[in-house]
């Protein structure tokens, strides 16, 4: 009877350790849930939303225009927090970005995101350098983003935001 108890206990401990290692590996390399602390992406993402993010995407390909990304704060920002930012990729390497008259222009063409507010500022024209991205929050006038602090190094990108998973009344696929 005692031998059976110890066998069962050792199997349980091994299963818990395997589950822990798998969970840690998945969170580190594959996917994780992120909490959004600010309203810089409203109305697409609301402060307090939980996002399901996928890290694997950017091991195999570069971010694309329109992707909503999670990234480490660039060095040029005064770091009051280490919480990663959430923004939308607007400009890719080689693009020329300009913001004027309430519109965002990429290479001279208007670029619209249906949910994004109209910017009330002027930026550029500025060229996106190799290895860099130009990112904006959808809440254009209340977002600390590339129009304030400049280009984002691609190496700072952590993951792509794929779904809002919490709260339940906000669940949606992000586009």
For residue 124, the number of C-alpha atoms closer than 13 Å in the C-beta half-sphere is: 23
Instruction: Give the burial class of 58: count Cβ atoms within 10 A of its Cβ; 0-12 exposed, 13-18 middle, 19 or more buried.
Output: middle
- Would you give the DSSP letter of residue 168? G
Q: Indicate if 87 belongs to the active site.
A: yes
Is 40 tagged catalytic? yes
- Residue tagged 């199997």 (tokens): 11
- Give the whole-angstrom CA distance, residue 164 versus residue 113: 18
Residue 17, helix vs strand vs coil: helix
Annotated active-site residue in 10, 61, 62, 87 = 87
CA atoms within 13 A of residue 47's CA, in its CB half-sphere: 7
Q: Catalytic residue numbers?
A: 40, 87
């Amino acid at each position: 009877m005692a031998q059976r108890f110890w066998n069962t206990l050792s199997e349980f401990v091994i299963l818990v350790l395997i589950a822990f290692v798998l969970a840690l590996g998945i969170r580190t390399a594959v996917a994780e849930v992120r909490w959004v602390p600010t309203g810089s992406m409203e109305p697409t993402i609301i402060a307090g939303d939980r996002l399901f993010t996928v890290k694997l995407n950017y091991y195999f390909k570069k971010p694309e225009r329109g992707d909503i990304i999670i990234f480490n704060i660039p060095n040029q920002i005064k770091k009051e927090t280490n919480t990663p930012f959430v923004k939308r990729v607007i400009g890719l390497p080689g693009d020329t970005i300009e913001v004027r008259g309430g519109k965002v222009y990429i290479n001279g063409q208007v670029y619209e995101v249906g949910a994004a507010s109209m910017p009330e500022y002027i930026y550029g024209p500025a060229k996106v350098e190799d290895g860099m991205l130009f990112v904006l929050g959808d809440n254009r006038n209340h977002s600390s983003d590339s129009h304030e602090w400049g280009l984002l190094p691609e190496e700072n990108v952590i993951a792509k935001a794929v779904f809002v998973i919490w709260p339940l009344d906000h669940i949606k696929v992000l586009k």
